[in-house]
Structure formats: structure tokens, C-alpha cells
Structure 1
Amino acid sequence: MLSSARRFFIRRRYLGWTSAAGVCLLLICIIYVLSTGSWEAPKLRAVANGKYADLKKSRYENRNRHKQGPGEYGAGVFLQGEEKKNADELAKKEAFNIIASDGIALDRSLPDVRNPACKSVEYPKDLPTASVVIIFHNEAWTPLLRTAHSVVNRSPPQYLHEVILLDDASYRDRLGEELDKYVQDTWPDGVVKVVRVKERAGLIRARIAGAKAATGDVLIFLDSHCEANEGWLEPLLARIGENSSRVLVPGIDAIDSETLEYSKNGGIAVGGFTWSLHFTWSPFVPTKWELDQGFGKEWQPLRSPTMPGGLFAADRKYFFDVGAYDPGMDVWGGENLEISFRVWMCGGSLEFIPCSRVGHIFRSSHPYTFPGNKDTHGINSMRLAEVWMDEYKRLFYMHRRDLLKQDMGDISERKALRERLKCKSFSWYLENVYPEKFIIDEKVLAYGMVRNPGSNLCLDTMGKDEKTRFDIGLFHCQNGASANEVFSLSQKNELRREEACLDSVGAEGSKVSLNPCHGHKGNQEWRHHKDSGVIVHVPSGKCLDVSGLKSGDSVQLKKCNGGNDQKWTIEHYLDI
């Protein structure tokens, strides 16, 4: 028999071996977790997925169940009396009708606005998985959660890997513990997760954080006031599954900021930009390449020079390989054009996918603050221009001379990225991706200030919104300090801005308006005679005239007389 001391020694040694084995097992588990990003072992995860399989199936199959109530099937909610008065007052802060939103179910039904041809498209069964990343900062409760509900309910569960609600340091009531509890109770399968940053990152850096937290094959970024519609996910995943270097934008439907009505238009447009580096919408006109490739129909993928920014999908690995976002950009502004130029110039492509529909509340203003009240759009755009636009950055600074002495931060890493990826020139981008883009000072007859020497008055847009029609004004010539006074005389004899042309009915004494260029001459055709100085409206034969006018008035047309009030010079002559 073993002595008591001997037995004690053996037991101690056994316990030591057991403890050591336990520590080793724990280390193995930790290493596994760090490498997979999951606290669940594969077997437990499979059990969990099986446990919630019925829930996921039911959630998806019942997404279109018949419902009644305010806002159902995308209907608008129209308030009256005191309720409308309160809503209007709150809209000053929220920039949308929060009372109408709060009265609509978080999982409301929507009209299927897809082109009928989209409904017959069959997608592969084996598609990549999606991580949907939704950034929010002090977003109102109902639009935020309606976004999450719409994504989960209208996404086939086998393709929806996760929905990440990334909180960019919100301090609004309900967005802390109450949001955590709601998410846990509503989606016990864990498909929706709340991830928080410790301090305000701004939209751009918050998206980088959200992308790093994601583990699905494809990243899909949505704003926190969207509603994903029927069949929205598969077209995006299938297109990226074919080519991982495609960056895709769904068809974006307007959700009215006052009534929350979901637009039934179902139309499509593509993206452009102004030389002041703001995004613009452009009507879709198929290029010869698209027609030759069998594309060009409104329901097929559409190549686009730029994207609006808030809603897009990209292969997760490709997103980081091509440079993600510029982390030197602050908060918001310019990042959408930067990634658009970069993707195209560095070998990728950008497309709108009309068969994927997502609604978006277009607010008239930002309901949140910009730290330091900085001109983040301007400084971010300056970084973009310096890294990607080569000699064409001159056209940006033509609009933003005030930025020439601003500190934009270090851009050496972004320039090194461009070099490493062997990206093409911005000239290549303009020639191959956006050949229809009007370049103010290239392939024109003249450009710059259009000046009447006798009065020192120049044609001037007076800072008005060029998406609207208005009369062209006169203002003291600013000698290049104001982009409002930059015009071009095109080879088509249009006196124009980037997208709008001088237009007139030609009556004696009539004003001259700025209207969208149509390219068919007519009331938009002008002739400038450099020797005599007159600018003649070809259809009427009348001349631009400043007689009896002062700074702040609108320029007029009068019968040509060759007087000083009808003599003009254009700042730079190229071919006239």
C-alpha cells in the first residue's frame, strides 16, 4: 500500500498536470477566437444556427404579410393641426418629420418598385455573404431601427452574414443600453450587432471602423435612415461574385422627409460631379461601349463616373486593397468622389444596379454637428484634388481659391497608395469614364470673365443654384476671385457654365436666363466677334447689352448698335 505522503504527492502531481492541460486548452481556445473573430466553437455555432433557423426562415417568409396602419405599403403620413405644428418645429432640429416616422411600424411594408424585368432574373444560389454596415450618430430611434428591420426582413438569411450598427459616439437618449437591449431581444440570433467607438470619429473614419469589424464577404454601407426594398440584396452579391473589383450602388428611391412616403418612381440616374467637387445626378444615356456590350437597358447594370456616397457595396478584401477611405479626411464630404475616382483609375469599376432598390430619406440639412465647425467638405476635397486630379486640380481651385493656404494634412501615404496600385491618370479617367464631362478651359473658343470694359461689369451667376433656372446678372468684375464669373464659349457657340447655358427668347429688352444645356443650338447659340466685341444671340440677331444697368441688375438683349454698352471681352481666347 502507498503511504499517505506518497498518495498525496501523486494526487498533487495529477492535479498539476490537469491544471496545465486546462491552461493549454484555454490558450488554444483563445488563439482560435483571435483567428476567427468568434467566441463560438464551430459546433456550438452550428447548434445556434440550427436553433434559430426557423426564426430566420419565418422572418424572411413573412416580410410581405398583409399589414394595415400608417405608412404601410410606403404610403405617406399627413399630419394636421397641432400635431403638424409640433412636427414642423421638431423638423428644424431633426431635418425630417420625426412624428410621422414614430407613427409608422418599424417593419412597415413597401411597394415593389423594381422594373418588371428584374423579377424574372435568376441569380446563382452560391452567392457571397454580406455584412451591412450602418453608421449612426444621434440618429432618431425609428429611422435607425426601420433601416435595420428592412435589411433583416428583406434579405435571404443564407446571404445576410450580419448587420453592424456602428455608433459614432451618440449621446442621444435611448441609443445606449436601451438600444442594446432592443437589438438583443428583437434579433436573438445575433444577426444585428451594435459596435461603438469611444470618441467621435466622423462618418468617414466610422465607416473604416465598421468595415474592420465586419467579417462577411461583401461590405454594404447604408445610411441610418434607409429602407431596403424587395429583392435588394441578390443583385449586388451576384454582380460582385462575378468580379470582385466592382463597386456597386443600388437604385436609390426617395423617402419624403415630411410624409415618409416611399417614391414609386423606380427610376435610375447615374453620378457626375462639378469642378467644385460636389456630386451631381445625371440622366442615364447609354454609351456606345455599353450598347456594344449588350447593356444600356434601364434594368441592367449601369456604369457611372461617380457615386453619391451613402449607399454602396464592395468586396471586403477589395475595399481594403484599393485603399478603403482616406483616413486623413474629417467627418464628411468629398469621400464619395475620392473613392469614385480611385476605383476607376486603379483598375476597378463603379456601377448602379437598378434591380436593387433602397429608399433613403433625403434631408435638407445635417441634423448633427461638425467638430470644430470646419469646412470638412472643402479640406477633404483639397486632399482629393492633390492626390488624384493631376493638372485638373486647377479647376477645383478656380472655385475654391480660399483653400490654397489651408492645411490639408499629410497626403504622402495616399500618394504612395496611388503609386503602389499603378493607377492611371485623371486625364485617362475623363477620356474613358466621363468623356461627356465639360472642361471649362479645354476644347473651347474662350473662357473666363465676360467683361464689358466701359462699365467694368461682368456676367455673374450671383451665387444662385445652377440646378434652377434664373436670369444672368451683372456684377463688378472680380478679376478671377469669383467662380461665379467664369464662363466658356464652347465650340458649339454656347455661352455656358459646366452644365447650363445662356438662353433667351430674343425679344427686345428681354433678360437672358441660365438653362440646362441641350446641345441643339437654337436659343442657346451665341456668336462673339472679337474685333467688334459684340456677343450676338444668333436666332434673334440681338446683342448682349448693359445700357442703363448697374451691378446687381440682369443683363439684357437689345438691337445691335456697336456702342460701348454692347462691347465685351472674354478673359482667355483659345481659338477665336
Structure 2
Amino acid sequence: MLDFLKKKLDSYISANLTKVQVVRLPERMGLIRARLAGAKKASAEVLIFLDSHTEANVNWLPPLLEPIAEDYKTCVCPFIDVVQYETFEYRAQDEGARGAFDWEFYYKRLPLLPEDLEHPTEPFKSPVMAGGLFAISQKFFWDLGGYDEGLDIWGGEQYELSFKIWQCGGQMVDAPCSRVGHIYRKFAPFPNPGRGDFVGKNYKRVAEVWMDEYAEYLYKRKPNYRTLDPGDLTEQKALRKRLKCKPFKWFIENIAFDLPLKYPPVEPDDFGFGEIRSIAAPELCVDSYMKQRDQQIVLKECVKNTKKKGEQNFTLTWHKDIRPAGRSLCWDVSNPDDRAEIVLYPCHGMKGNQYWKYDVENQWFVHGSNPRCLDCDLGNKRLYVTECDEGSKTQKWRFENVNLNSIMNWDNIGPP
């Protein structure tokens, strides 16, 4: 593989891409510093950053440039479509969302605002970029100091740059008419650099420079970050002072104003947790052992107080979804047909296919706003959702630990 990055690559570039220059670093320095090295060589008025595993779609460039031509302090991100890892099939994403984060620094999404929905082809403001695909004026990029050179390898750079753009007088938008496909790889194609928790150090570096008192919410969820050494922050803090950048509270209240509602800094209690045991067959429990994305959950013999293996501890979270304990996969039903099966899918916290409620009186797990109930076929131990029926014993489930106070206050907790 590395052979193709040397003479063969140089020969191909010189024969086919005459305006392209390959920049080589003396040693492995990671994504962030590699991008900085490329930016320092660039001479155009606008810098465009893309990953190597992307495919730019038709007419992708003009929509990225127009907002910058109108205001050079604007950073513009394309819509990121999906290139299937196994087949290279190109698939459009949804109609967009505003970038955000939770308080462990996982990337999240916020719904579009009503004014954005009225003009679906126009760029819309977004608090945080999804990753590393964007266009920015060279002048503005370097006015902001570029990427923080103290960030190592990868991780946190999209938050650092996003916060810096907004807090230091710029703005960031997503351009729906610019589409770039991205391969979401199922594994890292490169070895661990052996530099300890470099992502955690990067996150702490971003938090210490840009998040003010809000950094404490990150540390409460990741207490090990408190003891990490983020390196020398003198230059970054001086940059923030020199540019007269706004406080992070301003960013939260004015740019990401709905983020605390969807991802509260202090999370409310969950609605319940523990095993979900069938009333009709008390020896059987819902189980997701060894199940991954797009795989169905099933009924299995209950494992509590036995030596049997299983994954039968679930949480009905304040997001109003159900997750195996300690995992970020949720029960998901996308099929509207009767007896639709339940699969695991990455949690999005936006209800929809992942909206569940526990009906304490009927002992039902109710799915969706067009409600159907969790049911089962005891013969083949299959789970599915179907029309709720007060006379059906197979729709009744004993939920091990129910927070009755939270259940009674359902409408005032989590997503509306």
C-alpha cells in the first residue's frame, strides 16, 4: 500500500493533475498537522479541506464559495453523503441538520430551524462542523491561527475550529447544494500511534481554551480528563484574548441555544432500567447479547442470578429510547408493517423510530407516536411490535426498576 504513496503517486499526479502538489512530512504527524502543512503551501484565497476517502459530487464547489464571497469570515461545509464501505455505492444523506455535540464530545445533530426549512436550498447556520470537510477564506483561517498546532494526531479539531469561528467574529453554514460523499470506514486503517490518550488530551485542550466554566460538564462525564496534561496553552489563550473572542456562554445562548434542551449539561434521571421479563413466560427476557447495528433483539432465557451469558440490562433513557446498558445502540423500528421486528441502531435522541414509553398500568412497552406494543412469539422467541391489545398477555412485560416519579412527569422530561 505504501508503495503507491511514493513514486507511483507522484507519476500519476504529474500526468493527470498538473495543479496538484504532494506535500510530504518527515515523520508521522497526524491529520491535524498534515492539514496545517498543506494549508501553509496553498496560495489561493480560499482553502478547502477534504478527506482522502471522499467523493465530490457534481457542481460541489460554487455553493461553498458563494457565502465566502459575500463575507470572508464565513466557513462553509458541504452536505456529507454516504459512500458505502463495502460497495462504494453513493447514497444521499437526509435533508440536513445543525451540528452539535453532547457533553462527552460525541458529535450530535440539532433539527433545522423553521426559517431554514422555508428555504431548503439555502445555506443555514450550524454551531459545529461534522468533521473535516469545509471551505474557509485563507485570510480568516490564519487570522484565527489555523488549527491549534498543539492538537495531536486527530480528535477535537472540528470543535476547536468551530468554537473559534463563532466566538471570534465569524459564522459557519452548511450548504445543501454542495454534496460530498464520505466513506464511513468500519475500522481504522492505520495503527495506533502509541501516544496515550491523545484524543482525551485534545478534548481537554479545547475545553480549557474555549469552554470556560462549561468545561466542568465535560470533566464530570470524563473525570479522567482532569489529570491529563493538555500541554502549553499560553499561545492559544493569548490568541483568544488578542481577537477579543466571546465567552462560551455566548456561544451556547446565541448559536447553540437549543443544545442544552436536547443534550442537557446536567442530565435528568432515566425512566427505568434493568431486565425486561415476559409476563406470559417469566423464564424469558429480552436479550441483545452479541447483537450489533441492524441486528434483531430476541427473547432468551433470563440470565440474572445464573452463570448463563446474555445482555439483558436495558435503560429507558430520558431521551425516551431504550438502550443496552453502556452502549449507544437503541431499539429501532423503521418498518410500518404489522409485526415489524426491533433492531439495534445508533441512538440519535430524536424519538421517531426510536421512541419508546413504558405504560406502567398495562405493563406495555409502547413504540412510536402511532403506538404499537412490544409483543413476542413465544415459540420461536421472536420480538416485534403490533397493535396494542389489553387482552394480550404476551404484550405484558415486567420492567425491573421503574422510576415512577419520572414516568409521571414524562411530558416535562427529555425531547417533547
Greater helix fraction, Structure 1 or Structure 2: 1
Partner of 2:146: 324
Task: State whether residues 500 and 517 of structure 1, in contact with CA within 8 Å, keep that contact through their aligned partners in structure 2.
Answer: no
What does residue 104 of structure 2 align with?
A: 276
**1:390-425 Cα deviation digits (max 9, x unpaired):** 222222123322222122211122122222222222
Matched pairs, number? 340
Residue 19 of structure 2 is aligned to residue 197 of structure 1:
no
Match of 1:478 in 2: none
Q: Distance in 1 between matches of 2:20 and 2:34?
A: 17
Change (3 A) 1:463 1:273: farther
Aligned partner of residue 219 in structure 1, secondary structure: strand
Q: Please name the residue that 1:360 is paired with.
A: 182
- State the distance in 1 between where 2:138 and 2:121 align: 26
Match of 1:182 in 2: 12
Match of 1:431 in 2: 253
Find the residue that maps to 1:248 and give its secondary structure: strand
> 2:80 is paired with a residue of what secondary structure?
strand
Amino acid at match of 1:227: E
Q: Tell me the equivalent position of 2:171.
A: 349
Runs of 5+ unmatched residues, structure 1: 1-139, 141-171, 453-460, 476-483, 504-512, 527-536, 544-555
Once the two structures are superposed, residues 4-41 of structure 1 have per-residue CA deviations (whole angstroms, 9 ceiling, x without a partner) of xxxxxxxxxxxxxxxxxxxxxxxxxxxxxxxxxxxxxx
Q: Which residue of 1 aligns with 2:51?
A: 223
Question: By how many angstroms is 1:369 displaced?
Answer: 2.4
Q: Decide whether the 8 Å contact of 1:331 with 1:376 is kept in 2.
A: yes
Shift of 1:307: 1.1
Structural mapping, 1:370-385, within 5 Å: 370-385=192-207
SS at match of 2:4: coil
Kept in 2, the 8 Å contact 1:269–1:281? The answer is yes
Q: State the Cα distance separating 1:180 from its structure 2 match.
A: 2.0
Provide TM-score, normalisation by structure 1: 0.50
Q: Which string of whole-angstrom CA distances, capped at 9 and with x for unpartnered residues, describes residues 116-137 of structure 1?
A: xxxxxxxxxxxxxxxxxxxxxx
Q: Would you say 1:173 and 2:7 are equivalent positions?
A: no
CA change 1:371–1:397 in 2 (3 A) is same
1:214 is the counterpart of 2:36: no
C-alpha distance in structure 1 between counterparts of 2:295 and 2:223, whole Å: 25
Match of residue 422, structure 1, among 244, 258, 283:
244
Query: Is 1:440 equivalent to 2:281 in the alignment?
Result: no
Structure 2 vs 1, CA of residues 474 and 422 (structure 1 numbering), >3 Å: closer, same or farther?
A: farther
1:374 shift after superposition? 2.5
For residues 63-108 of structure 1, what are the alpha-carbon distances to aligned partners after superposition, in whole Å with 9 as ceiling and x for unaligned?
A: xxxxxxxxxxxxxxxxxxxxxxxxxxxxxxxxxxxxxxxxxxxxxx
Deviations 1:435-468 (A, max 9, x none): 22234355x7x5489899xxxxxxxx99999999
Q: Is the 8 A contact 1:525 1:538 kept in 2?
A: no
Q: Give the secondary-structure state (helix, strand or coil) at the position aligned to 2:181.
A: strand
Aligned equivalent of 1:335, options 157, 161, 169: 157
Instruction: Point out the structure with max Rg over C-alpha.
Output: 1
| Partners of 2:321 and 2:331 within 8 A in 1 | yes
Identity %: 39
Q: CA deviation at 1:370?
A: 3.4
Counterpart Cα distance in 2 of 1:375 and 1:307:
23
Which amino acid in structure 2 is aligned with residue 385 of structure 1? A
What pairs with 1:86-97 in structure 2 (closer than 5 Å)? Answer: none
- Aligned 8 A contact 2:53 2:182 in 1: yes
- Quick one: which amino acid aligns to residue 272 of structure 1? A
Find the residue that maps to 1:173 and give its secondary structure: helix
Partner of 2:163, secondary structure, is helix
Question: Separation in 2 of the partners of 1:213 and 1:569?
Answer: 60
Q: Taking structure 2 as the reference length, what is the TM-score of the superposition? A: 0.67
Q: Please, which runs of 5 or more residues in structure 2 have no aligned partner?
A: 275-287, 305-312, 333-343, 366-395, 407-411
TM-superposed CA distance for 1:206, in Å, is 1.1
Equivalent in 203, 206, 209 of residue 387 of structure 1: 209
**1:221–1:313 CA contact under 8 A, matched in 2:** yes
Letter in 2 for 1:389: M
Equivalent position of 2:113 in the other structure: 287
State the partner residue of 1:404: 226
Q: Matched residues in 2 for 1:399 and 1:316: separation? A: 36
The one-letter code matched in structure 1 to 2:264 is I
Would you say the 8 A contact 1:380–1:408 is kept in 2? yes
Determine helix, strand or coil for the equivalent of 1:363.
Answer: coil
Aligned counterparts of 2:172 and 2:303: Cα–Cα separation in 1: 41
Contact 1:489 1:496 in 2 (8 A): no
How much does 1:365 deviate? 1.8
**Once the 2 structures are TM-superposed, how far is the Cα of residue 193 of structure 1 from its aligned partner?**
1.2
CA distance in 1, matches of 2:191, 2:246: 37
- Equivalent position to 2:74, from 246, 256, 260: 246
Following the alignment from structure 1 to structure 2, what is the Cα–Cα distance between the partners of residues 280 and 210?
28
